[in-house]
Amino acid sequence: MAAHWLLPQLGAFAVPALALAALTGIPFALAAHGLLRAPPSAAGAAAAVLVLPSVHLLVDVARSWHHLGGAWTPLGLSQWSVRPVLAVAALGGVWLIGAVLVAVNVGLAVLVDTRAPPPARGTGAALALGVLAATVTFGLARTVPPVEGALRVGGVQPGVVDDSLQAHLRRTAALADADVDVVVWGQSSVPVDPGDRPDVADRLRHTAARVGGDLLVNVDARQADGRSTKATHHYRPDGVVATYHKRRLAPFGEYVPLRPVLGPLTGHTEAADVDRATGDRRALLRVDGTTLGPLISYESVFSDLRRDLARAGADVTVVQGSLTTFQDSWAQAQQAAGEAVRAVESGRASVLVSTSGTSAAFDAAGRQLLWRPPGDSGTFVVTVPRHTGTTPFVRWGDRLPLPAGGVVAGFGLTATVRALAGRTPATRPCPVSPGPARPPRR
Give the range of the structural domain holding residue 75, as residue numbers without chain letter. 9-143+397-422
Average pLDDT over residues 89-99: 95
How does residue 21 score in pLDDT terms, banded at 50, 70 and 90? Answer: confident
How many structural domains does the chain have? 2
- Do 157 and 376 touch, CB atoms closer than 8 A? yes
**Which of 35-44, 54-63, 345-354, 421-430 is predicted with the least confidence, judged by mean pLDDT?**
421-430
Tell me: pLDDT of 308 over 60: yes
CATH number of the domain that 334 lies in? 3.60.110.10
How far apart, in whole angstroms, are the C-alpha atoms of residue 225 and residue 304?
A: 30
H or E segment at 351? strand 349-354
pLDDT at residue 106 in the model: 97
Same domain, 132 and 153: no
Same domain, 39 and 179: no
DSSP 3-state assignment of 226?
Answer: coil
Same domain, 153 and 251: yes
pLDDT at residue 305 in the model: 95
Question: What is the residue-wise DSSP string for 288-333?
Answer: TTEEEEEEEGGGGG-HHHHHHHHHHT-SEEEEEE--GGGTTSHHHH
436 located within any domain: no
Average pLDDT over residues 25-37: 92
2 located within any domain: no
Same domain, 178 and 84: no
pLDDT at residue 154 in the model: 97
pLDDT at residue 296 in the model: 96
Same domain, 209 and 354: yes
Is the backbone peptide bond immediately before 358 cis, with ω within 30 degrees of 0? yes
Tell me: pLDDT of 42 over 80: yes
Measured over the CA atoms of residue 91, residue 95, residue 99 and residue 102, the dihedral's sign is positive
Length of the chain, in residues: 442
Is pTM beyond 0.75? Reply is: yes
127 located within any domain: yes
How far apart, in whole angstroms, are the C-alpha atoms of residue 10 and residue 16?
A: 10
Average pLDDT over residues 55-76: 82
Tell me: pLDDT of 427 over 60: no
pLDDT at residue 435 in the model: 54
pLDDT at residue 433 in the model: 53
Same domain, 22 and 89: yes
399: left (phi over 0), alpha (psi -120 to 50) or beta: alpha
Same domain, 87 and 228: no
Task: Compute the chain's Rg from CA coordinates.
Answer: 28
Is the model more confident about 243 or about 257?
243
pLDDT at residue 397 in the model: 85
pLDDT at residue 262 in the model: 64
H or E segment at 127? helix 118-141
Is the model more confident about 347 or about 223?
347
pLDDT at residue 418 in the model: 83
How does residue 24 score in pLDDT terms, banded at 50, 70 and 90? Answer: confident
Percent of the chain beyond pLDDT 70? 86
How does residue 415 score in pLDDT terms, banded at 50, 70 and 90? Answer: confident
Average pLDDT over residues 354-359: 90
pLDDT at residue 416 in the model: 86
Same domain, 279 and 413: no
- Do 188 and 322 touch, CB atoms closer than 8 A? yes
Q: Which residues contact 268 (CB under 8 A, 6 or more apart)?
A: 11, 12
Same domain, 241 and 377: yes
DSSP 3-state assignment of 150?
Answer: strand
Tell me: pLDDT of 428 over 60: no
319 located within any domain: yes
441 located within any domain: no
- Do 369 and 152 touch, CB atoms closer than 8 A? no
pLDDT at residue 330 in the model: 72
Looking at the DSSP bridge assignments, the partners of residue 132 are: none
380 located within any domain: yes
213 located within any domain: yes
pLDDT at residue 175 in the model: 95
Same domain, 45 and 83: yes
pLDDT digits (tens, 9 = 90+) for 161-199: 889 999 999 999 999 989 999 999 999 999 999 989 999
pLDDT at residue 218 in the model: 96
Cα maximum dimension of the chain: 133
How does residue 270 score in pLDDT terms, banded at 50, 70 and 90? Answer: low
Looking at the DSSP bridge assignments, the partners of residue 184 are: 155, 216
Same domain, 342 and 416: no
155 located within any domain: yes
Cα 5 to the chain's mean position, in Å? 17
pLDDT, mean over the chain: 88
- Do 2 and 261 touch, CB atoms closer than 8 A? no
Tell me: pLDDT of 215 over 80: yes
| Order of strands across the sheet that contains 290-296 | 285-287, 290-296, 316-321, 349-354, 359-362, 368-372
Same domain, 238 and 299: yes
